[in-house]
């Protein structure tokens, strides 16, 4: 009750006109950043952190948390409208969200995912305010062994659910992503791997140029190679849509709670973040759904689950950041730098050195939730007008934004080269029905899989026993085996039915 009272008091203290206007503006900026290819929440926070050096502490984190919440949601907008996730965590949303847009339900899909995002973030806020200590204790149980099997599980389920026909294609995509992630200097031994003497590859291949290449460029190529582009019509009955949005979300209450718990749990694990939370939420929702056949074809449930999961992970990722000084996601890692810059030392002593700060951050995220609703109401309908723009005009803009987004990260021409290479590769892979999602996730988690596996072996003198003797790792291994076995059984059954 003491935590709840502190949280309510912090929220009331924030209700000033300056903070409210600043939160509305920063959340809107976050939504725009998240929706533009290449401009992620992480990048938005990073760019603004340096600009807030002389800004008062209260206003600084009003800006940063608004961009964080808005950016994670914003990625779903371009994922739904264009099948180009603005952020990696929105890749799962694109599977069903874009199919809904192709059916003329773009505005409804945006409204549904917005409400789902708000609910997910709200649940994350409550967890941050009330459940930080217990969740942190669970996160402390994770060591290299657990992180390895968790990351491998994430890539595996992504491959299973993203493949259009055979799961093996999704797993091959995951292996392609893992292979790309291995191109860099090995962080453990300091040896260059697969760089072929190119100094640009020593630091590895950036995720954003690769994601833009695999998602955006193939869409641009397809648009200009198709003589009869698919036309999308808007839903006609707006008043009915408004009622259906609320009812649709209410009917998916079980999926919302389930996905929120997954997002909280995975968000609280250091380094895992919103991307894995979105995919695990989507996969779990599909496995527990009574409408499995609708997934991948335009399921509102399939759009809701990843959005609840990745937004609930915001609160989850902030828990280890503030209580342990260990960020739970890439945006949280940038926030760690902002905390240090402003003299806040996260860790077990934060409640003593900066009393009430955790409650203040939780209250700011709650205020960002309200701002997201307001901003979403204003932007939802105008954003759907993108579908009315002829592709001959729209796709050059997408291509230009893709180039700007990839170049702005490191001001590197090499990143632009990577966008082109991965774009061409992504186009040919899409022709063979390979989804880009497992490739990108493999690239994101490849470093974690490689390093945690080897560290686990080093810590146990080369023995694999820790994978079977540690309960959490064993649970994930069993899930991995069951997932593979189920997919093999389903594929054989599908082949027999065709024969």
Say what the pLDDT of residue 21 is: 93
What is the per-residue pLDDT across 53-103, written as a single tens digit (0 to 9) for each? 778 888 888 998 998 888 888 888 888 887 777 777 787 888 888 888 888
Q: What value does the mean pLDDT take over residues 193-211? A: 80
Contacts of 231 (CB under 8 A, 6+ apart): none
Q: What is the DSSP string of 192-244?
A: EES-TT-GGGTT---HHHHHHHHHHHHHHHHHHH-SSPPP----S-HHHHHHH
Cα 128 to its chain centre, rounded Å, is 19
What is the per-residue pLDDT across 399-443, written as a single tens digit (0 to 9) for each? 776 777 667 656 778 888 888 888 888 888 888 877 776 787 788
Angle between helices 436-459 and 207-225 (to 10 degrees): 160
Instruction: Inform me whether the pLDDT recorded for 307 exceeds 80.
Output: yes
- Evaluate whether 100 touches 109 at the Cβ level (below 8 Å): yes
Q: CA-to-CA distance for 56 and 64, rounded, in angstroms?
A: 12
Question: What are the structure tokens assigned to 235, written together?
Answer: 């839903």
Angle CA 200–202–205, to nearest 5? 70
Q: What value does the mean pLDDT take over residues 118-134? A: 78
Q: CA-to-CA distance for 478 and 497, rounded, in angstroms?
A: 28
Split at pLDDT 50, 70, 90, the class of 24 is very high
Q: Which residues of 404-413 are buried (b: 16+ CB within 10 A; e: fewer)?
A: ebbbebeeee
Say what the pLDDT of residue 22 is: 92
- Tokens 């995220």: give the residue: 365
Number of H helices, E strands in the chain: 22, 2
**Phi, then psi, of 343 in degrees rounded to 5:** 80, 20
Instruction: Inform me whether the pLDDT recorded for 237 exceeds 50.
Output: no
Say what the pLDDT of residue 23 is: 92
Split at pLDDT 50, 70, 90, the class of 351 is confident
To the nearest whole number, what is the mean pLDDT of the chain?
Answer: 78
Q: CA-to-CA distance for 499 and 487, rounded, in angstroms?
A: 18
Higher-confidence residue of 465 and 242: namely 465
- Rounded to two decimals, the pTM is 0.67
Give the DSSP H or E segment for 184.
strand 184-185
């Amino acid at each position: 009750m003491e935590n709840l009272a502190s949280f309510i008091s912090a929220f009331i203290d924030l209700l000033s006109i300056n903070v409210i206007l600043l939160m509305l503006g920063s959340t809107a900026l976050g939504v725009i950043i998240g929706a533009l290819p290449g401009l992620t929440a992480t990048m938005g926070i990073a760019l603004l952190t340096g600009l807030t050096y002389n800004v008062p502490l209260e206003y600084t984190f009003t800006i940063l948390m608004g961009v964080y919440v808005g950016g994670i949601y914003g990625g779903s907008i371009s994922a739904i409208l264009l099948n180009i996730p603005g952020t990696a965590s929105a890749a799962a949303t694109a599977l069903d969200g874009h199919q809904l847009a192709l059916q003329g339900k773009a505005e409804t899909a945006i409204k549904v995912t917005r409400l789902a995002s708000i609910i997910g973030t709200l649940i994350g806020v409550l967890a941050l305010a009330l459940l930080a200590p217990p969740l942190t204790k669970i996160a402390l149980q994770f060591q290299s062994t657990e992180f390895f099997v968790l990351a491998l599980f994430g890539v595996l389920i992504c491959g299973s659910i993203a493949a259009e026909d055979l799961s093996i294609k999704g797993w091959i995509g995951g292996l392609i992503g893992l292979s790309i992630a291995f191109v860099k200097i090995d962080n453990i031994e300091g040896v260059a791997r697969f760089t072929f003497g190119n100094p640009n590859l020593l630091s590895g291949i950036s995720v954003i140029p690769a994601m833009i290449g695999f998602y955006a460029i193939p869409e641009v190529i397809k648009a200009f190679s198709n003589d009869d582009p698919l036309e999308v019509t808007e839903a006609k009955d707006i008043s009915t849509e408004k009622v259906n949005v609320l009812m649709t979300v209410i009917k998916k209450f079980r999926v919302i709670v389930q996905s929120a718990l997954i997002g909280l749990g995975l968000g609280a694990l250091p380094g895992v973040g919103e991307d894995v939370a979105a995919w695990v939420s989507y996969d779990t929702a599909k496995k527990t759904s009574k409408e499995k056949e609708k997934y991948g074809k335009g399921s509102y449930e399939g759009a809701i689950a990843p959005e609840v999961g990745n937004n609930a992970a915001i609160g989850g990722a902030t828990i280890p950041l503030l209580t342990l000084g260990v960020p739970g996601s890439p945006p949280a890692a940038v926030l760690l730098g902002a905390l240090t810059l402003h003299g806040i030392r996260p860790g077990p002593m934060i409640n003593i050195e900066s009393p009430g700060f955790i409650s203040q951050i939780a209250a700011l995220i709650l205020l960002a939730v309200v701002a997201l609703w307001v901003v979403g109401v204003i932007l939802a309908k105008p954003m759907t007008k993108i579908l009315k723009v002829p592709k001959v005009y729209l796709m050059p803009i997408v291509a230009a934004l893709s180039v700007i987004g990839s170049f702005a990260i490191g001001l590197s021409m090499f990143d632009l080269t990577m966008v082109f290479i991965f774009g061409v590769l992504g186009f040919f892979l899409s022709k063979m029905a390979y989804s880009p999602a497992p490739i990108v996730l493999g690239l994101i988690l490849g470093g974690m899989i490689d390093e945690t596996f080897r560290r686990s072996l080093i810590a146990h003198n080369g023995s694999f026993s820790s994978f079977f003797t540690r309960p959490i790792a064993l649970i994930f291994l069993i899930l991995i085996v069951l997932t593979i076995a189920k997919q093999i059984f389903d594929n054989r059954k599908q082949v027999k039915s065709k024969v």
